[in-house]
Each structure stands twice: as structure tokens, then as C-alpha cells.
Amino acid sequence: MDLNQISQAVEELEKDKALSLVQQALDEGVDPPEIINSGIVPGLQGVGKKFETEEYFLAELMMGGKVSQACMDLVEPHLPATGSASAGTVVLGAVEGDLHDIGYSLVATQLELNGFKVHKIGVNVPAMTFIDKAKETSADIIGLSAFLVTTIPNCNEVIDYLRDMGIKDKYKVIIGGTETSQEKAVAMGADGWAPNAVEAVKLCKGLMDIN
Ligand code: B12
């Protein structure tokens, strides 16, 4: 089936239609990650564009999040079984002030599919909570998700705390989210940035010296 149909239904906030198209794609044997990456995510990005051009407002933005999450929930059980979780341990969440969880949840799923142990610690997470969780789980990588220009400085804060505590070398810190970039990652002293979940896996494998 044409996965654009799913994107369109998500973008038009037609929940029932989107869900039945996702089910149809699953029934037809379309690769589940492909349904997410080429169907659901582009639809949500379309919602974001409409919000930007003021064709949609906050209510629609929220609806877009709900429609996509419902679609992802339908796909989730069909994703391949997770690996042996030996690639490394990652603590992942959205920084303080940020409530966007769809992007980092996708990163978590992809990392798990590639053998990482992932501790998802939610949204609006204070800097010290990332650090405490990383210590508690002996994490290798701390992943910070930030979707707003106003929350990116909170990624900085985690890195600053790690430096102040003299433990920056113990963890690799990576960042991601719509408004982040490689330049911003370098500027704040992060160990890496990735534009999407697939690249995030490559990044983490690289940081763990896995091919
Ligand atoms: C859905 C959505 C919402 C939903 C979130 C629902 C949810 N449960 O997540 C709700 C309605 C809650 C919301 C609220 C707001 N939002 Co909003 N939202 C979006 C939207 C449309 C989609 C975001 C999304 O989930 N995309 C889907 C994911 C899969 O896409 P993705 O970015 O490609 O994800 C990949 C990467 O980001 C990367 N990644 C993500 N995290 C990480 C972490 C690491 C470590 C790594 C390596 C990679 C990585 O991997 C992901 C998977 O491939 C975006 C538009 C956009 N273009 O992003 C606006 C957007 C991010 N929101 C925006 C705004 C302004 C807001 C609000 C301030 C609106 C308001 N006036 O209240 C609030 C702020 C709430 C808060 N405090 O966080 C703006 C931000 C603009 C800016 N310059 O800061 C955007 C860009 C819309 C716009 N064009 O104006 N939003």
C-alpha cells in the first residue's frame, strides 16, 4: 500500500482512518519500522508545518500527537524482538520544560531493537535526575531530547553539572530533537547529535565502538 495515505490521514487528524490504514499495512505485511518512518512520522511533521503556518493551532497540534501515538501503539507489538541488550546502556528522556516524547520514544525503540538497554525517564526531567539515573544504572550514554529553542539550554545544564561533579568522562552525552543540531551539540560539549532514530543508533554504536 501507499504509505502516503497514512501520512495524509495523520496530517488531517483522521484518527479512525489512520488507524485502519496502519492495520491494513500491517495485514499486508509492510515492514513495521517502515510504517512508522514513512507513514506516521511524515504525517506528524505535516502537522508541525501546518502549526507553523497557523493553519493549525494548539488543539490540532495536540490531536496530531494523539493520533500518531495511537498509530505507533498499534505498530509497536509488531516490531522485531529486542536484542540481547549487550550493546550498552542508555538513559534517555526529554529535558526539563520539554513535553515532547514521541521522538525520543522512537529513539528508545530503535536502540532496543539494536541491542541497547534503554532506561526511559520521561519528559520534563530535571538535569540531576538524568545524572542520578545514569549513576544508578551504570549507563554508558545519556540521551537528551529537546524540541524547543527554550529547552535546549537545559541540555547544557546536564553537561555543566557533569563537569562540575568531575564525572563528565564517565558518560557520553548525546542530544536530539527538532531544534537541535550538530553545531549546537558541539558548542555545548556534547559527544554527539543525531537527526533521527536510525542515525541515533549509528551514533551510539560509534560511541560504544561497535560497527
Ligand atoms: C506533536 C508536537 C507537540 C505535542 C507533543 C506530543 C508528544 N506526546 O510528544 C504537544 C501538543 C504536547 C506539543 C506542545 C508544544 N509544542 Co510542539 N510540536 C509537535 C510537533 C508537531 C511534532 C514533534 C514530534 O513528535 N515529531 C515526531 C518526531 C518523531 O519527529 P522528529 O523530530 O523527526 O524525531 C526524531 C529526532 O528529533 C530525533 N530525536 C528526538 N529526540 C532525540 C534524542 C536523542 C538523544 C537523539 C540522538 C535523537 C533524538 O529522533 C527522532 C526519531 O526519529 C513539532 C513539529 C516538528 N517539526 O517537530 C512541534 C514543535 C516541536 N512544537 C512547538 C511548540 C512551539 C510547542 C509548544 C510551545 C506550543 C504551545 N504554544 O504550547 C508546546 C510546548 C510544550 C512543552 N513544554 O514541551 C514548536 C517548537 C518551535 C521552537 N522553535 O521551539 C514545533 C517545532 C512546531 C512549530 N513548527 O512551531 N507539541
pLDDT for 7-51, tens place per residue?
999 999 999 999 999 999 999 999 998 999 899 999 999 999 999
Domain assignment of residue 116, yes or no = yes
DSSP for 108-145, please give it.
HHHHHHTTEEEEE--SSB-HHHHHHHHHHTT-SEEEEE
Question: What residue's CA is closest to ligand 1, atom 61?
Answer: 147
CA distance 88 to 78: 24
Residue that terminates a domain, selected from 57, 78, 99: 78
Is residue 84's pLDDT more than 70?
A: no
- The verdict on 139 and 109 lying in the same domain is yes
Ligand 1 atom showing the smallest separation from residue 199 Cα: 47
Asked whether residue 148 is assigned to any structural domain, the reply reads yes
pLDDT value at 73 more than 70 = yes
What is the structure's pLDDT at 109? Answer: 85
Q: Is residue 183 part of a domain?
A: yes
Closest by Cα among 53, 57, 43 to 14 = 43
- Asked if residue 192 has its Cβ within 6 Å of ligand 1, the reply is no
Q: Average of pLDDT values for 180-201?
A: 95
Question: Please, where are the H alpha helices in 53-189?
Answer: 58-75, 102-113, 127-136, 153-164, 182-188
- Is pLDDT above 60 for 83? no
| Residue nearest atom 46 in ligand 1 by C-alpha distance | 176
User: Residue 204 CA: which ligand 1 atom is closest?
Assistant: 47
Same domain, 68 and 116: no
Element (H or E) spanning 90, and its range? Answer: strand 88-94
45 Cα: distance to centroid of ligand 1 (angstroms): 9
Average pLDDT, the chain: 94
d(CA 211, ligand 1 centre) in Å: 30
Instruction: Check whether 114 has a pLDDT greater than 90.
Output: no
Asked, for residue 41, whether it belongs to a domain, the answer is yes
Asked if residue 83 belongs to a domain, the reply is: no
Residue 129 near residue 123, CB atoms below 8 Å? no
SS3 171: coil
Q: 166: CA distance to ligand 1 center in Å?
A: 32
Whole-prediction pTM: 0.90
Task: State the pLDDT at residue 80.
Answer: 78
Lowest mean pLDDT, pick from 1-10, 109-118, 159-168: 109-118
| Ligand 1 within 6 A of CB of 58 | yes
Are 161 and 181 in a shared domain? yes
Same structural domain, 121 and 64:
no
Structural domain of 30: 4-78
